Structure 1
Amino acid sequence: MKKSLELLEFLGEPVSRDMKETLAHGSRQFRMSVHMTRVPSINNVVLYSHWHEELELLFLAKGSALFHIGQEKVTVRSGEVVFIPPNLLHSASRLDQEEIVFYAVLVHFNFLSSLENDQIQQQYILPIFMQNRRYPKLITREMDEELHIYPLLEEIRDAYQQESLGYELLVKAKLLEILYRLQKCAIHADADLDIGESRNSNSLQAKKVLAYVQQNYGKRITLADMAQHVNLSPAYFCRFMKKQFDLSPMDFLNEYRIAEAISLMETTDKKMTEIAELTGFCNVNRFTETFKNFYGCTPAYYRKAIRNHAGDGQHAVRCDTDLKSY
């Protein structure tokens, strides 16, 4: 089996100013990719909130996690598949202390589309990418006894990594077979157009909040600042954030700041006082207190644990590996 030539180590997803993921998924000649992600037990966050224009089919090989996909929350166990529509915010957090391993198959519209706007494109491909047809966000083990999606994704992963002659044809054929099998549980969304428009509006506002926090987390930010950025009253904004992210606005901000602090702890030798200042905490005591609320230990203890893991040859940070290079 061909070894991966590129290993990207980072905490969280690289994203643009509007929180769109910036990782390249495939090439212009082959607009899909397969990633393997390993999240060691020392990291609580599995995926940070982000979005991308590709359809994502994610299958969990080890561990369990709570996924937020748009406004839906699903608990995912090993052996199950997550269906993530294009352009939809999603994130995930761990449920226990087991290491988590998952594979993500990301597919661009251009990979599946036809040269002509034929019946296949009109009836099956466009509805997925326009979100006019809905699919269950979670394919459970029980559901997959009939659908057999998980084994097909494993075949796509293996073909993608091995790159045997004609593998591109096999990958595309298997993806189309998955879409065929998913038709059994598809729901037309035309009747819920108003609901869909409301969800799209909420998604846009959530992306604005994410972008604002990403650009300003190192500064002093108040609840009123965040609410004003999306033209909502503070009270309504609190309800909005709870529904979108299952967090209060300030907990959401602090979670992002802690994530940035962890990245600095893992990749630099900066002192805790400097890290606290760079990530928007008023002082190191406030930073330590907030960190303990999220992780149950002090930042110094966490950094020591990271280095001990690295010394044992284990991954200290979340690792995302494209299963082949181009």
Structure 2
Amino acid sequence: MDGELFITEEGSEWTVRKDEWMILLPRKHHFSTRPCTSNTRFYWLHFYTDGKWVQDSSPVVLKSNVPIPNLHYHNEEYTIHLKKWQKIKDAEYIYSEIEALLKGTTEPLSISFWKSQQRFISLLKILEQQGSSKLAYLSLAEKIEIYLKNNFSQNITNQSLSDHFHFHKNYLIRSMKKAYNCTPMEYLANYRLENAMNLLLKTNLPISDISEMCGFQYAPYFSLCFKKKFSCSPESYRKQHTGS
């Protein structure tokens, strides 16, 4: 955030300055090269993945050795490409996302776990965007996607998206349809139901609480939307998959 951080990794020296970020490789020797020479503040995020990773001079696409089932939202195979070192664009926004991620550690584990996982992936995708040149509509659509995922429990409309992103709502709709073949509201509705499905499986929360947490103002409407998507009511879905 401020100052300079002097780091050595496997014999290579790096200086990370204000509004810059760097990825240190797992199971590699890294240490502080020398003391900071000015007041220095920084975020240090540790994360773990059991998937494949590689550091290379150019992006590569990795494939999982484990077949991904065509169920729910576990049907996406995607490689995130992050630069080793990079200047942060829109640093204030990035830092606010990190603060929100850290705040999630104070919430009940049954709720915070999945929210933290989703928010962290969203953060990585934001950083990935900043490291590549993309078409304007695609970049905007990805920002809309991240915003919807991070705020799906809130009251969101096309107009509120327009106010937030400072674009006409018709342009936002066109960008999302071109990138994801759906409108922002269609994406939001589907994402809310996927999160509701996950909460039904992973928690014992009442249906009314799940409905509210996923952005539905009325539980009956939530049940109607859920049944339309999954061909059964939330109660039946929970019983079928958890026996409770």
Pairwise CA distance, 1:216: 0.9
Residue from 211, 220, 228 that aligns with 1:285? 220
**SS of residue paired to 1:39:** coil
Aligned AA for 1:270?
A: L
Q: Are 1:226 and 2:166 matched, yes or no?
A: no
The structure with the largest strand share of the pair is 1
Preserved CA contact (<8 Å) 2:140 2:175: no
Q: Tell me which residue corresponds to 2:5.
A: none
Q: Tell me which residue corresponds to 2:66.
A: 36
Q: Are 1:47 and 2:95 matched, yes or no?
A: no
Q: Tell me which residue corresponds to 2:235.
A: 300
Aligned AA for 1:53?
A: H
Q: Per-residue CA shift, 1:164-183, capped at 9, x if unaligned?
A: xxxxxxxxxxxxxxxxxxxx
Which structure exhibits the higher relative contact order, with contacts defined as CA atoms closer than 8 Å and separated by 6 or more residues?
1
Pairwise CA distance, 1:236: 2.2
Q: How many residues align?
A: 146
Residue from 195, 203, 208 that aligns with 1:260? 195
Aligned AA for 1:250?
A: M
Q: Tell me which residue corresponds to 1:246.
A: 181
Unaligned runs of 5+ in 2: 1-46, 83-130
Preserved CA contact (<8 Å) 1:44 1:295: no
Distance in 1, matches of 2:79 and 2:144, equals 13
Unaligned runs of 5+ in 1: 1-20, 55-129, 132-196, 312-326
Q: Percent identity of the aligned residues? A: 23
The equivalences for 1:183-202 within 5 A come to 200-202=135-137
Q: Tell me which residue corresponds to 2:87.
A: none
Distance in 2, matches of 1:49 and 1:272, equals 31
Aligned AA for 1:303?
A: R
Report the RMSD for the aligned CA atoms in angstroms.
Answer: 3.5
Preserved CA contact (<8 Å) 1:242 1:248: yes
Distance in 2, matches of 1:273 and 1:249, equals 25
TM-score normalised by the chain length of structure 2 = 0.50
Preserved CA contact (<8 Å) 1:266 1:306: yes
Preserved CA contact (<8 Å) 2:162 2:169: yes
Distance in 1, matches of 2:77 and 2:68, equals 17
Aligned AA for 1:34?
A: S
Deviates most, 255-264 or 234-243: 234-243
Distance in 2, matches of 1:35 and 1:226, equals 39
**SS of residue paired to 2:66:** strand
